[in-house]
Amino acid sequence: MVADESKPVTRRRFIAGSGVAGAALLAGCTGNNSEGKQTSTDGSETSGGETSGTGTSDGTTQSGPYSVSMEPVGKVEFESTPKTWVANNGSWADMGVALGLEPPKALWLTSRYHTQYYDDIPGVSVDKSNMVDLYQDGVNKELFYELDGDVHVIDPNFLMNRFKGWKQADIDEVRKNIGPLFGNSIFSRGYEWHKDYTYYSLYEAFGKLAEAFQRTDRYEQFSSLHDEFQSKVDSVVPKKKKDRPEVATMWASGNEPTSFLPYLISEGTSFKQWRDLKVRDALASTSVRDFHSNRGKVDFETLLEIDPDMLLLRGHEQQTAKEFQNTVVSFMKNHSVGSKLTAVKNGDVYRGGPLYQGPITNLVVTERAAKQVYDVSESLFDRKKVASIVNG
C-alpha cells in the first residue's frame, strides 16, 4: 500500500532510525546476555538503551536530538520528546502512568487495560473514556492517521502477524508519515515470529520507554522500589520447593466455564508474579500443552486428573474478588465434576492476573498473588511512595 497523497504528512519531531521493522532485523544484539540486558564495562547490567543529546530526565525540556534502540525496530532518533502516543497494550500504558505521562490515545483492546489497579494508590488514576481500540475486526491504517501519535509503542511484527492485512510497506508508511514504531511484544514468549530477536524483561522495556520519553529519573526510582519489593517477596516464599503450591493457570471465559485454555507458566511479563513467587506449575509435568502451541482446551475431567492445589483463572480481572466468588467459583462448587477439585473444595480458586503488566500493575497483582498463595497479610509496597514517584 502507498500513502494517500491527499493526507497531510505529519512527520513533525522524529526521524526514523536506521533499523527496519521487518524480518531483516530480527537478529539479537551483540553484547546482550540471555536476559536481553547489556553489560557495562564494570560488569553491571543496564537497560541497554542507546541515547545521545542532552535531554532532561523529567521530560520537560531537551536541547538536542537523541536516539534509543529497541529490537526489532533498531535505532529510533527523536528530534524532541514525544508528547502523544499510541501503545500496544496495558503493559506499556502502565509504564506511561509510572512515568507520569498522559495516557496513550489508543490500545489494541482498551478492555484489557485494567485501571482499577490504581484505586488504592492515592492521586493516581486513568480515564479510559476517550481511549480508542486499535483492533476493531482488524486494524485500519487510517485510524493511525486520525490518532496522529508522535510515537507508536508497538512491535511491528505484532501488527503484521496477529491478523492478515498489514505488511512491511504499511509499517514503513506509518513510520514515515505519522511517527516511528518503538516496541517489543514483551508479555508473551509463545509467538513463533518472536523467537529470533531479543525479549525484554519488564524493567528492561520500562527503561527503554523512559529513555524515549526522557523520564529516566522516574524509571530509576521505580527500579529501586522494585528491588525493595522483590526482597520482601523473596522473604515470603517458602525455602523448600515442596512447601510451595502446585497451581494451574487457565483462561476461563464467562461466569460458568466448562472448558479452559491452559497457560503454562513461562517467560514473559504476563507471568512475572508467579515466577517471582516460585509456585509450582501443575501443568508442566503433564501432557497438557500451552494454549499458544495448539489452541487446545482442558475440561473438568482433565483438571480433576491433574487436581492442582490451586486454580488461577484468567479473564475475570474486571470483576472484584467477591463478584468472582459469587459467579465463577459458585458455579464450580455446584458442578458435578468441578466440585470434586481440591482447589474448589479448599476455597483456592482465584483470579489469575492480567495478560499485561507494567511496573505499577506488577506491584499490585504480585502482592495480591502473595496473599492468595502464601496467606501474606502485610502490604509489600508503599503506595504513597508509588504516588510520589508518579507525580514527580
Q: Per-residue pLDDT for the chain (392 aa), expressed as one digit of tens each?
A: 333 333 333 444 443 343 333 332 222 232 333 333 332 322 333 333 443 333 344 444 455 799 999 999 999 999 999 999 999 999 999 999 999 999 999 999 999 999 999 999 999 999 999 999 999 989 999 999 999 999 999 999 999 998 888 999 999 999 999 999 999 999 988 788 898 999 999 999 999 999 999 999 999 999 999 999 999 999 999 999 999 999 999 999 899 999 999 998 988 899 999 999 999 999 998 878 765 556 678 999 999 999 999 999 999 999 999 999 999 999 999 999 999 999 999 999 999 999 999 999 999 999 999 999 999 999 999 999 999 999 98
Q: Write the CATH number for 322.
A: 3.40.50.1980
Distance CA 133, CA 149 (A): 14
Instruction: Tell whether 280 is covered by a domain.
Output: yes
Helix (H) or strand (E) holding 46: strand 45-46
Instruction: Tell whether 293 is covered by a domain.
Output: yes
Q: What is the pTM of this model?
A: 0.83
- Angle of CA points 242, 246, 247, to nearest 5°: 155
Return the pLDDT at 4: 39
Q: Which set of grid coordinates corresponds to residue 207?
A: 527503561
Return the pLDDT at 295: 60
Q: Are residues 311 and 377 in the same domain?
A: yes
Q: Are residues 246 and 367 in the same domain?
A: yes
CA proximity to 132, closest of 95, 105, 92? 105
Return the pLDDT at 69: 96
Instruction: Tell whether 3 is covered by a domain.
Output: no
Q: Are residues 257 and 347 in the same domain?
A: yes
Is beta strand 246-251 parallel, antiparallel or unpaired with respect to 310-314? parallel
Q: Are residues 317 and 194 in the same domain?
A: no
SS3 101: coil
Distance CA 111, CA 114 (A): 7
Question: Is there a contact between 335 and 350 (Cβ–Cβ < 8 Å)?
Answer: no
Q: Which set of grid coordinates corresponds to residue 110?
A: 482498551
Q: Are residues 201 and 75 in the same domain?
A: yes
Residue whose cell numbers read 497523497: 5
Range of the domain at 365: 238-390
Instruction: Tell whether 114 is covered by a domain.
Output: no
Distance CA 94, CA 258 (A): 32
Instruction: Tell whether 6 is covered by a domain.
Output: no
Helix (H) or strand (E) holding 168: helix 168-177
Which of the listed residues 159, 181, 214 is the one where a domain comes to its end?
214
Distance CA 355, CA 308 (A): 21
Q: How many domains does the chain have?
A: 2
